[in-house]
Structure 1
Amino acid sequence: MLVGYARASTLDQKASIEAQVRELEALHCERVFTEHVSSVDVKARGELAAALDFIREGDTLVVTKLDRLARSTAHLMELMEVIESKKAALRILDLSIDTGTATGRMMLTVVSAIAQFEREIMLERQREGIEKARREGKYKGRPSEIDPTAIKQLMEEGKGATVISKELGIARSSVYRVIDGIKAPIS
């Protein structure tokens, strides 16, 4: 049995998930699991867990792209352990990889390592770009320090967390953390 899995990081990517589902259904996947969740939040990926639980011996889990399934080589290898323990296979459509074969398993490992390398290079370039923008004064980032005294003063003036966060240019959650600290000081 072919079992499909489609994922998009955000609800804004509705077209992406619809295209994945169309592709999986065109391949005649008998069951397709879909979810809108970041690949980083592995614990929130309930549909992936359901798909892995659903597959049986001889089944093939099908994804359209590798990045829809795993966030890193290590994560992919963890998923492959589960899939292989069930005597099932993984097929990645855009790479024409099928782990039902020895060549497919080897290609998956190589491609996964390359994908992780590319992601790390992209993040390195992003950090370099942010640092360059900081040096040129174009990137300010978030405030380095939160002033609890200013927050307390604005609270005493009767201002709410939203107004305080806007006035000080900080996140509302930061305001709440300070407010909670004022209400229950740590000794």
Structure 2
Amino acid sequence: MRLFGYARVSTSQQSLDIQLKTLKDAGVKVSRIFSDKGSGSNTNRKGLELLRIKVEDGDVILVKKLDRLGRDTADMIHLIKEFEEQGVAVKFLDDGISTEGEMGKMVVTILSAVAQAERHRILERTNEGRQEAKLKGIRFGRKRTIDRSLVLSMYSQDIGATEIANQLKIARSTVYKIIDDMKKDNTA
């Protein structure tokens, strides 16, 4: 039996360090740890693909948490079945769950469904919060760094968009957007 490890974070800004340390502490050799930085909803991940190629009958894959292997229930079940067909077990360290045996497979299926439902609830709450914030006039996106009043002032002095863009070192399309926004505000 060989131990393999798999770690994943959702974005490139997140760190794999805690997961990697947990896998090493559990006895996985560094050369047998595979990782990805990307969404768990996509099963076409480079680290996961390499892991699929390397494992053989009798091997065990350690993963820190259930949602690190994948987030979508169907994909999780598909991956677990794929590993099972190869004779490879998957153990989730933090959750104390293993795919070995029928009970383990059932628990993994239930927990991955719960994790997916929770993710949907989080998305719903996030969207509701955004809608409420928009109704209160809160704007999303980065803060404006261009003095819009200066652009409009120059435009009202019959300075062309190209010249405004050159003087303010901004894109001409930005100048046109500011002018269009002003026209829309005046017609509303």
Q: TM-score, normalised by structure 2?
A: 0.72
- In structure 1, what is the equivalent of residue 36 of structure 2? 35
Greater C-alpha Rg: 2
Q: What residue is the counterpart of 2:14 in the other structure?
A: 13
Aligned residues: 155
**Secondary structure at 1:71 match in 2:** coil
CA distance, structure 2, for counterparts of residue 166 and residue 71 of structure 1: 39
Using the TM superposition, give the Cα deviation of residue 51 of structure 1 relative to its aligned residue in structure 2, in angstroms: 0.5
Task: Label 1:74 to 1:165 Cα distance change in 2 as closer, same or farther (>3 A).
Answer: farther
Residue in structure 2 matched with residue 178 of structure 1 by the alignment: none
Letter in 1 for 2:33: V
Q: State the one-letter code of the partner of 2:21.
A: R
> What does residue range 137-176 of structure 1 map to in structure 2 within 5 Å?
137-139=137-139, 163-164=171-172, 167=175, 168=177
- AA aligned opposite 1:7: R
Q: Deviations over 1:19-60 (max 9, x none)?
A: 1111111111231112222324443x1011111121111111
Q: Name the counterpart of 1:2.
A: 3
> Which residue of structure 1 lines up, in the alignment, with residue 64 of structure 2?
64
Distance 1:86 1:138 in 2: 52
Residues 58, 139 of structure 1: CA spacing in aligned structure 2 closer, same or farther, 3 A cutoff? same
Partner of 2:126: 126
1:131-166 residue CA offsets vs partner (Å, 9 max, x unmatched): 111222213579xxxxxxxxxx95x66959x72565
Partner of 1:46: 46
Over the residues paired in the alignment, what is the CA RMSD in angstroms? 2.7
Change (3 A) 1:77 1:41: closer
Q: Is the 8 A contact 1:24 1:64 kept in 2?
A: yes
Q: Which runs of no fewer than 5 residues in structure 2 stay unpaired?
A: 143-159, 179-188
How far is 1:81 from its partner? 2.1
Identity of paired residues, percent?
A: 34
> Which residue identity is paired with 1:134?
K
Distance 1:101 1:166, change over 3 A: farther
C-alpha distance in 2 between matches for 1:12 and 1:165: 31
Confirm or deny: 8 A CA contact 1:90 1:98 kept in the other structure: yes
| Residue correspondence of structure 1 range 78-89 to structure 2 within 5 A | 78-89=78-89
Moved beyond 4 Å, runs of 4+: 156-160, 164-167
Gaps of 5+ in 1: 143-152, 170-187
SS across alignment from 2:5: strand
